[in-house]
Amino acid sequence: MELMAYIRKDIKNLISLMDRKFIVDTPLRKWIKLNIYPKHNLIIKTKKEYRCTNCNKIFYDNTPIGDKTTCPKCKMKLLVRLNTLKYYKFCEWFRVLEYVDGYFVLRGFEVLSEYHDKKFSRYVSEHQRLVIGKDNIYLLFSNKFKIFLGNVWIDHSIKHTTWRLCNSYFSPWYWSAGIIYTGNIDVDINNTSYQYCDIKPVVSETKDFIYILQRILKYPLSYELLIKMGLTNLAVECDNFFIKGSFEKRFGVSKDYLPFIQKYNLTYKELKILGVIKRKNIRIIRKLSSLNYFDELNSKLDILKALNNGLNKDNESIYRDYLDFAERLKFNMKDKKILYPDNLKQAHDQLLKQIKDNEDKKMVEDIEKRYIELKGNTYKDKKYIIYPVPSYADLLLESSMQHNCVRTYNFRYANHEIDLYFMRLISNQEKSLVTIEVKDNMVVQSKIKNNQTPTKEQLKFIESWENNILKHS
Ligand SMILES: [Zn+2]
């Protein structure tokens, strides 16, 4: 409870600090006007005349109502609507990246543009804040953010009064979205330990960006260094480079690879591959980096040899299965003929068949072992006998005589999941009568031909078997 109270106070302080520091300043207003408003416009058609609501240009066109056309003056591609249009609206979300007191904050805004009385009115409301700390992420909703029955909307008609912390609703669905304005960030981070972290090169609209910000908070020096070296793709994974030491220790390759790494702005995965193959060949590196199972395949194969042998992203999982089969079949995993087969698909299918045959063979043997284990439960009187299923062949025969699917129980019987018994007439033991399934020494089901229930007399015999034999075994 103490801890919760502390966290609440901590966030409370942060919220009031944000409210004091965060504003919508003139540069931000200009940015909205330039980047969002122009898209929120229409081309209004009056007889033959087309008027652009963005720049007021009047022109002649023949685009039908409901299609888009490009204004010849402002070059915006806009929807054509008739001049009798009463109402139309555009909504768009955008974000502002800020930094405050050890946290990055993505402020979520909505622009609402309403066409009414032949003109547009525009509203801009901040409705949520994603507060990104080193180890925590908090989502705050303004009272303007409304959610009802899964529908989300922003109420532009009311004033913002409170922020509420939404731990329970912390779901990607409600994360702020849209293009990101970074105009304030350099001023925000000035005189902090992040002041030399140039964030703009890695800003993106992906969800991943949130985790990049967390890594920057944790490893600002790695980030700063990588960005300065022009390695933006490695900078986004700066958490992998915090180890101190030589270039080789940090990057896994010697310093003479640096120009190559810079030239192609390698990603972390590509850099790891470069460390393995030690060849400055971007085509090969990108090909290998498209593999999902690179690490696993690389641990078993000479990856360049495998590439020459036709390994690619379409057959990598077949290759992986094939190697797995070969290991299970105890093949020599140093033999080049095994590791790099001439026809991968064919070799894969062959080994798969061998494995299946082996499994079947084992199942047949296991069923015979089960019979020996359960033989002691055999039970008879003058009319009936119950005994465990002696073999897979018997099971197949029973299944065809009874028209049931007991055959599919073979693996479960072999693996000790269930016990299977036949009940037959002493006078005609070759002919199937009742099939009985037992689990934990209790009869689970007993069936005669066509999955029917046995007769009263038969059930009575089964019950006495259960009481006299099974319960004591
Ligand atoms: Zn225009």
Per-residue pLDDT of the chain (473 residues; tens, 9 = 90+): 334 445 578 888 899 999 999 999 999 999 999 999 999 999 999 999 999 999 999 999 999 999 999 999 999 999 999 999 999 999 999 999 999 999 999 999 999 999 999 999 999 999 999 999 998 888 899 999 998 877 889 999 999 999 988 765 555 556 778 999 999 999 899 999 899 899 998 998 888 899 999 999 999 999 999 999 999 999 999 988 877 788 898 899 999 999 999 999 999 999 999 999 999 999 999 999 999 999 999 999 999 999 999 999 999 999 999 999 999 898 999 999 999 999 999 999 999 999 888 888 999 999 999 999 999 999 999 999 999 999 988 988 888 888 777 667 888 999 999 999 999 999 999 899 999 999 999 998 888 888 788 999 999 999 999 999 998 87
Length of the chain: 473
The answer to whether the pTM exceeds 0.75 is no
- Residue-wise burial string across 152-178, b where 16 or more C-beta atoms lie within 10 A, e elsewhere: eebebeeeeeebebbeeeeeeebbbbb
CA of 67 to the centre of ligand 1 (A): 16
**In this structure, which amino acid lies at residue 116?**
H
Q: What is the pLDDT of residues 190-240, one digit of tens each?
A: 999 899 899 998 998 888 899 999 999 999 999 999 999 999 999 999 988
Integer Cα distance of 375 and 328 in angstroms: 33
CA of 35 to the centre of ligand 1 (A): 15
CA of 58 to the centre of ligand 1 (A): 8
CA of 201 to the centre of ligand 1 (A): 32
**Alpha carbon distances (Å) from 12 to 138, 230, 270, 398:** 12, 39, 43, 74
CA of 110 to the centre of ligand 1 (A): 23
pLDDT at 371: 96
Integer Cα distance of 399 and 401 in angstroms: 6
**Alpha carbon distances (Å) from 225 to 197, 231, 450:** 9, 9, 76
Integer Cα distance of 265 and 289 in angstroms: 14
CA of 108 to the centre of ligand 1 (A): 28
**Which residues are CB-neighbours of 280 under 8 A, at least 6 positions away?**
257, 260, 274
pLDDT at 7: 56
- The angle at the Cα of 180, spanning 177 to 184, to the nearest 5 degrees, equals 135
Which phi and psi angles does 429 have, rounded to 5°? -75, -10
CA of 71 to the centre of ligand 1 (A): 5
pLDDT at 95: 96
CA of 357 to the centre of ligand 1 (A): 73
CB-based contact 42:81 (threshold 8 Å): yes
265: its two tokens: 């702005």
- The angle at the Cα of 210, spanning 208 to 212, to the nearest 5 degrees, equals 75
CA of 55 to the centre of ligand 1 (A): 4
Q: How many other C-beta atoms can be found within 10 angstroms of the C-beta atom of residue 432?
A: 21
CA of 47 to the centre of ligand 1 (A): 18
Neighbours of ion ligand 1 (CB under 5 A): 52, 54-55, 57, 71, 73-74
pLDDT at 5: 45
CA of 74 to the centre of ligand 1 (A): 4
Instruction: Read off the DSSP letter of residue 404.
Output: S
CB-based contact 183:100 (threshold 8 Å): no
82: its two tokens: 């008739």
CA of 126 to the centre of ligand 1 (A): 28
pLDDT at 393: 87
pLDDT at 148: 82
CA of 85 to the centre of ligand 1 (A): 18
CA of 42 to the centre of ligand 1 (A): 9
First to last CA, the chain: 55
CA of 112 to the centre of ligand 1 (A): 20
CA of 45 to the centre of ligand 1 (A): 13
Integer Cα distance of 465 and 470 in angstroms: 7
pLDDT at 171: 57
